[in-house]
Amino acid sequence: MDSRKRHIAKTITWRIIATGTTFLLTIFFFREDPNATAKASWVALIETIFKMALYYYHERIWFKTKLQIRSSLRHLFKTITWRVIASLTTFVIAFLIFKEDPLAVEKATSIALIESILKMLFYYLHERAWHSTKFGLK
Determine, yes or no, domain membership for 80: yes
Rounded percentage of the chain residues whose pLDDT exceeds 70: 99
What integer pLDDT is reported at residue 72 of this predicted model?
82
Determine, yes or no, domain membership for 137: no
Determine, yes or no, domain membership for 55: yes
Residue 56, Cβ density class (10 Å: 0-12 exposed, 13-18 middle, ≥19 buried): middle
Tell me the whole-structure pTM to 2 decimals.
Answer: 0.75
Per the CB < 8 A criterion, the answer to whether 137 and 6 are in contact is: yes
Per the structure, the count of domains in the chain is 1
What integer pLDDT is reported at residue 38 of this predicted model?
96
Determine, yes or no, domain membership for 19: yes
Determine, yes or no, domain membership for 136: no
Nearest CA among 56, 72, 68, 66 for reference residue 6: 56
